[in-house]
Amino acid sequence: MSDKKKNWLGKLALTFSCVSSLLSPAKAETLSVGQKAPEFQLSTHEGALVDLQSRKGQGWTVLYFYPKADTPGCTKQACAFRDSIKVIRDEQAEVYGISTDSVEDLKKFHQKYRLNFTLLSDSDARVTEAYGVKMPVLTLSKRWTFILDSDLIIRSIDDKVDPALDAQHVAEMIRTLKLAKP
């Protein structure tokens, strides 16, 4: 094989490797069930500040990350949480939807679909990165759901979320986790 061809194949392999790493899904390798959830402070769709630490001792916390407000899958997921919020709250849990959208975009989304839970803006994607759910290259979140107990310990991580069924799955998972918790 000629040096020119070897050089070309080497460049091709390097390019493929770089592109593959960018396109391969990032994993929340640093987070696992049983770990303390990363703390954060984020703005709500109304512009108020929410500190995760304030949830300690207040019951279960659901953090669902989604890519973009007012897109088909994200709307389906938000509306499913809206429609199931009573069942989830009956399990002593509160739901927070987190995306990299601006506060203004979240406010419009919240109003348009009459959502009855809090949306949080992670516009700089710091929290999205801390939870290991940032899409490579893009400043968007993957669709993952974390369930935290009242001590803010991660009890469930779902990286294969079905937008239409996530709320139902969350309610069932919390019931199961509560029975299993010592």
Q: What is the pLDDT of residues 87-132, one digit of tens each?
A: 999 999 999 999 999 999 999 999 999 999 999 999 999 999 999 9
Q: Which residue has the higher pLDDT, 25 or 77?
A: 77
Determine contact, residues 52/37, Cβ cutoff 8 Å.
yes
**Residue extents of the structural domains in the chain:** 30-180
DSSP label of 74: H
Known catalytic residues are: 74
Whole-angstrom distance, CA of residue 39 vs CA of residue 51: 8
pLDDT band for position 30 (cuts 50, 70, 90): confident
Whole-angstrom distance, CA of residue 141 vs CA of residue 127: 10
Tokens matching residue 51:
């500190």
Write down the H helix ranges in 24-165.
Answer: 72-89, 103-112, 126-130
Q: Per-residue pLDDT for 155 more than 80?
A: yes
Whole-angstrom distance, CA of residue 161 vs CA of residue 136: 18
Q: Which CATH class is domain 30-180?
A: alpha beta
- Predicted TM-score (pTM) of the model is 0.83
